[in-house]
Structure 1
Amino acid sequence: MNSRQMFLDQLRAGLKGLPRSVVEDILAEYTAHFDEGRAAGRSESDIAAALGDPARLAREVRAETGIRRWEDERNLSNALGAIIGILGLVALDLLVVWPVLLTIASVDLAFFVVGICVCLAGSLLLPLALINMIPGFEGDWFQGVLITLGMASGGASLMALCALFTIGSINLLVRYGRAHFRLLARANPS
């Protein structure tokens, strides 16, 4: 099965329960995305990757559809539809994204603190190495100097890697946030 068909089948499965006309309109819209991409010379797998996770898109569409129904006609049924659609997105955030994000941030912070400690230890021991006062390295001051310089530079390198990892993580988080913004922008076209 090709990427296009797999994407559309997963999207259709995620939209199950919505009115048939809504599902057909959404599938026609995404089919048009594939047609335009193919006309521009892109592969179906590239187009599917650019469109994102079809299950996630289905949850966004469910939330958007619920919000639009509520805006069109304010009744209990439409209110529940909007709430359930939004809770589907929030549940993913609370149950999957936040624990993973907090774990990654904690590990990154721990490595950054280790980098600071190793860098400081190497920097503080350097004067002792220069005057040959580090226990275990008496008589070989040059080895002590190299070890302390290695500790200082290794700690600084670890801090730099943590900073780069943090920047990359923030970039991914921004992309994830844009997916939510897209949903809100479509729901409130003011």
Structure 2
Amino acid sequence: QEYIRILRSRLEGTLPKNELDDILSDYTEHFSIGKANGRTDEELWRSLGSPDDVAREIRVMHLVKKAENVRSCRNIFHAVIATLGLGLFNLVFVLVPFILLVLMLLFVFIIGVIFTIFGPIAFVSSVLQLAGRSAIAIWLSPVAGLFIATGMTSLGMLLVIGDYYLARFFYHVGIKYLKWNISTITGTEYAA
């Protein structure tokens, strides 16, 4: 059958072989039952949608499921990019939030690293000032500099650690959002 052949060609290399075989078996069975009920190939094609659209939806669902099961930047990136292929609507409602979220997490991480690196430098500078050595005066009072530097280092470390947990939280929320988005675009319930 042409539909199954096209569907296979669009999904090969994307899905594991056993998963691909299960999906193709389901669609073959759908065609067999439809023909037994007297429906034509054209009616069955129209009821299922084009094999390209079906393959795109299956690919997106597979990539989102993969990103959910195996957490990595690469997997979530692939899931987001695949979701963009479902429609122009997703450029605004998937890509823009994804980019803003990544930029925000990157910004918090960079600020945390800067504080974590600058804090010990300021601490050493304050200690040298207290010891009477010539050092760059970062603050007017070297004693205050010790406390400020300790606070900066602590804040920087907290920002980096907090950014890690924030990224994990947003990863989980992002997967749920992608599932909701797929359900909204395709009009079908997403199978977890």
Q: Which of structures 1 and 2 has the larger relative contact order (alpha carbons within 8 angstroms, sep 6+)?
A: 2
Normalising by the residue count of structure 1, what TM-score does the alignment of the two structures yield? Answer: 0.48
TM-score (norm 2): 0.48
